[in-house]
Each structure stands twice: as C-alpha cells, then as structure tokens.
Amino acid sequence: MEPMRVAVLGATGAVGREMLRTLEERRFRLDELVPLASPRSAGVRLPFADDVVEVRAVERATFEGVDVALFSAGADASREWAPVAVAAGATVVDNSSAFRMEPDVPLVVPEINREALDGHRGIVANPNCTAITAMMAVAPLHVAAGLSRLVASSYQSVSGAGHRGVAELLEQVEKLRGAEEELARPDPEALPAGEVFGRTIAYNVLPRGGTFDPDGATTEETKFVNETRKILGLPDLEVAVTVVRVPVVVGHSLAMYAEFDKDLSVEAARLVLARFPGVEVVDDPLRDAFPTPLDAAGRDEVLVGRIRPGPRRRSLQLFASGDNLRKGAALNAVQIAEALTG
C-alpha cells in the first residue's frame, strides 16, 4: 500500500485536538500525520499515538504528498487553503461553513448520506455541529416515515465556539463566585461580558448563534435550515429553528417537533433509532432516563430520547444530545475520511 499522509489544519483548536484523538482512537490507517496551524501556533507540540508531533505553519508546501486534509481553522482559512490542498492532490474534509452550500460539494454524515461522497471534486464538507446532532436523530425517522416539517430549538454548549468559548464561561463563573444569589436581581453594570459571546453566558442563555442576517435569523439558524435540507435531500422542507447558547461546556442538544408523511408510532421510532448506527436511544420515563449533554460528552453516539407523540396525527416530539466536538465535528470528519480512503 502507498503511504497515507493525513494533514489536520487547525490542529491546536478544540476540534483539531479532538481530530487527533479520534484518528488515534479509531486507529485510522495513516503513515504520517501533518499537524498544521497558523504561524502563531507553529511549534506547539501535541500528543499523538504515544508520541509527540510538532505543529507546522500552514503553507503551500505542507500539503505536498498529503492524501486527506482535515480542516478546522474557520471559514477564512478554508477558503484560502482548500484550493491549495486540492491542487496538491489532497482531498479536503472541511469542518467550516465555507463550502457547505456549494452545489458540487457533498455535505455528508456518513451514516445518513455516504453515497453523496461519490460526486466530490476534492472538497467534502462536514455539516454544522448542531445540524449533525439533529440529523442523527431525524434522518432515520425520515427514512421510515418521510419527514414533512421540523421545528427545533437548540441548547448549544460553549465549546462550539472553541477553547475561548469554554474559557469565557469559566472566567465568568469564577467572577460571579459568591455573588450568585444576586443574580436574582442583577446589576447590569456588574455582569461580566466577554469577547466570544459579547454577553454574560454564565447562568444565562443567549438566543443568538453567530451574527444576525437581515431577515432576523442568525447565521447559525440559517445554516441549520440549509444544511438540514441538503443532507436530507429535501430542498423545500419546512424548518423552523431557534439557536440558543447555554452554559454547558461540551454537548449540543435539541428539542424537536417533527411531522411525517406516514404514521410512525413512538415504539416504531424507538426501534428505528435503536438500530441506526451512531445513535443510542436513552428513553425510559420509568427509570428517569433521557439524554443530557453531560451524558453525551466524551461519547461517539448521539443520544436520543423523550420520544413521544406530538399534538397532531403523524407527529412526534424528541430530544437529542451529542458531543459537538466528536460526532458534531471531529468524529464525523474522520468518518468521512475513512469513507474516502476505505
């Protein structure tokens, strides 16, 4: 076999580090790992496969001989470096939003639409972390009964904004230590705010993901709608979503209401989900079992539960939690790389 070289751009970020761990955990067949980042992070040493690898500053030459490049350094870096990597012969699995809605770029969750990889032209996009979590719960039900409408509200962790998001939450919790009771009637001037979320995220929820589009949706909401439609191959699907950031470290969750074309009982939905790879049904009212982000953190499976009838015929309600750094990002990207090289 030819040697397999895998590059990770953004290797020092929250998702990048998880990509390294995931490659290692899944024993991805590789002969050389090329950890890349901006010049600022060059020289950082990261543990990998009982060894230590040194991060290199990304430049044209670093993609030479690379077979697969996992990108997680933001949309600007992807726009700059993906064409370079593709020109050098690599296939790029891009975790940013840069190319997701390009018609000739597959947007893939391997368990759901692996076949979409067939037409790729060098770039494959990894969906948004919230969309992946939602789709793992909804796509199996769609296959079973035909999804016709989706209303979702998210509960997204701060690690979706990277290390800095986590640091900002923890700094704010520390600043408020001993004064938490005063949060019952807070002094707005005294509340900690930060650069990442722009507002107090500790002991608060922020119904805004990304920035605002002119129609009043946030960029994360627009991504969710567009990516859901593309992944499911339902370009006209009715999707309503509100993206909300919550003071959770790792784990994105969604409360969802879904309507279907055909009857789908709660029992049938549980069975369909339990059989779907990458999903674990956690749904037992009698045992007080339901998904939470803390239960999903550090795990590969998306947890789905609270499956119950909706108020109208052919509707269901459900709740899903997934590790946004794993299945929501690094794991899904590595699974795409596995499918590309397998």
Just list the catalytic residues. Answer: 129, 252
Determine the residue type at 50: D
- Sites for its own copies among residues 206-225 (CB under 8 A): 206-208, 212, 215-217, 225
Q: Are 152 and 255 in contact (CB under 8 A)?
A: yes
For the chain, list the strands marked E by DSSP.
5-9, 32-37, 45-48, 51-54, 56-57, 68-71, 91-94, 123-125, 147-155, 238-242, 252-260, 279-281, 302-309, 315-322
For the CB of residue 203, give the shortest distance to its own copies in the complex, in Å.
5
Q: Does 313 help bind its own copies (rule: CB under 8 A)?
A: no
Q: Which two tokens stand for residue 216?
A: 């009043």
For the CB of residue 68, give the shortest distance to its own copies in the complex, in Å.
25
CA atoms within 13 A on the CB side of 270: 13
Q: Which is nearer to its own copies, 32 or 213 (CB)?
A: 213
Q: Which is nearer to its own copies, 185 or 262 (CB)?
A: 185
Contact residue for its own copies among 30, 319, 331, 334 (CB under 8 A): 319
Strands 32-37 and 123-125, sheet pairing: unpaired
Q: Which is nearer to its own copies, 7 or 14 (CB)?
A: 14
- Binding characters for its own copies, 159-198, by CB under 8 A (x = yes): x------x---x--x---x--xx-xxxx-x--x------x
List Cβ<8 Å contacts ≥24 apart for 169-172: 169/201, 169/202, 169/247, 169/249, 172/200, 172/201, 172/202
For the CB of residue 291, give the shortest distance to its own copies in the complex, in Å.
7
**Neighbour tally for 107: CB within 10 Å:** 21
Q: Contact region for its own copies (CB under 8 A) — 99-107, 135-143, 238-246, 327-335?
A: 238-246
The CA-atom distances, in angstroms, between 209 and each of 155, 177, 219, 263 are 11, 26, 7, 34
For the CB of residue 60, give the shortest distance to its own copies in the complex, in Å.
34
Residues making contact with its own copies (CB under 8 A)? 151, 153, 155, 159, 166, 170, 173, 177, 180-181, 183-186, 188, 191, 198-200, 203-208, 212, 215-217, 225, 238-240, 242, 244, 246-251, 253, 255, 257, 266, 285-286, 288, 290-295, 297-298, 305-312, 315, 317, 319, 325
